[in-house]
Amino acid sequence: MQIDVQDFLAFAEQSGELVCFDLEMTGLGGNYNSVLCGSLKPYKQKPYTFLIKRPGADKEVCKQISEELNQYKVHVSFNGKGFDVKFLNTRLIYWELPVLERRHHLDVLLVARQKVRMRGKSQAALLSWLETTEEKMSVPPGYWNAVLANPKKYLPIMRKRCESDTIGLEALYERFKHLVSNISKV
């Protein structure tokens, strides 16, 4: 028996099995860089975050994020299939920990790429275009290096950004979910 995607999403929402998530990292390559924090936002609930104590020491945070994500049946991300999941799995492999379990994964960026025609499909651009009350928190470029030198000062900013991203992500999910025709496991 197959279930309609929209019915599946509604069921996941109602049963508490859907979570929006985002990660912030020190760079783009999991072999050279590490996770700073990961925020999860269960559907219609407040986000919560796993935060490193110092850059590079992300073993425990990666483990916590993975274990927590594995508690949900449906993951929602923005470029998570192409970036966040792969980066996290790279770090988990490095630390000799189990990779994420396969879950149904809805990547809002991929839905937007397939279903709308507009210039710029960043999370910030989509939130602005749709005139949502949520905005993507901007972080100056220098902060990404500053967090390495002064984590005590800059990690709270990264945490706030990560949580902000999950709030904006849920707003985009709400606007795009009716366009979803298929959800694959990742």
Domains assigned to the chain: 5-178 (3.30.420.10)
Question: What is the distance between the alpha carbons of residues 127 and 152, in angstroms, rounded to a whole number?
Answer: 30
Q: Render pLDDT for 116-135 as a digit per residue (tens, 0 to 9).
A: 998 888 999 999 999 988 88
For residue 89, give the nearest of 113, 70, 110 by alpha carbon.
70
- Give the pLDDT of residue 4: 93
- Give the pLDDT of residue 134: 85
Question: What is the distance between the alpha carbons of residues 150 and 143, in angstroms, rounded to a whole number?
Answer: 10
Average pLDDT in the chain: 95
Q: Which residue is it, tokens 């651009």? A: 125
Q: Which residues are 19's β-sheet partners? A: 42, 75
- Give the pLDDT of residue 94: 98
Question: What is the distance between the alpha carbons of residues 25 and 42, in angstroms, rounded to a whole number?
Answer: 21
| Phi then psi dihedrals of residue 158, to 5 deg | -65, -40
For residue 1, pLDDT beyond 80: no
- Give the pLDDT of residue 135: 84
Four-point Cα dihedral 24, 120, 82, 148, nearest 10: -20
Mean pLDDT, range 148-154, rounded to an integer: 95
Question: What is the distance between the alpha carbons of residues 99 and 90, in angstroms, rounded to a whole number?
Answer: 8
| Phi then psi dihedrals of residue 122, to 5 deg | -70, 160
Helix axes 151-176, 108-115, angle to 10 degrees: 40
Question: What is the distance between the alpha carbons of residues 40 and 147, in angstroms, rounded to a whole number?
Answer: 21
- Give the pLDDT of residue 133: 86
Note whether 30 and 90 are within 8 A (CB).
Answer: yes
- Give the pLDDT of residue 179: 96
Q: What share of the chain is helix, strand, coil (3-state, %, to 5)?
A: 45, 15, 35
pLDDT higher at 165 or 144: 165
Q: Render pLDDT for 21-75 as a digit per residue (tens, 0 to 9).
A: 999 999 999 999 999 999 999 999 999 999 999 999 999 999 999 999 999 999 9
pTM: 0.96
Share of the chain above pLDDT 70, in %: 99
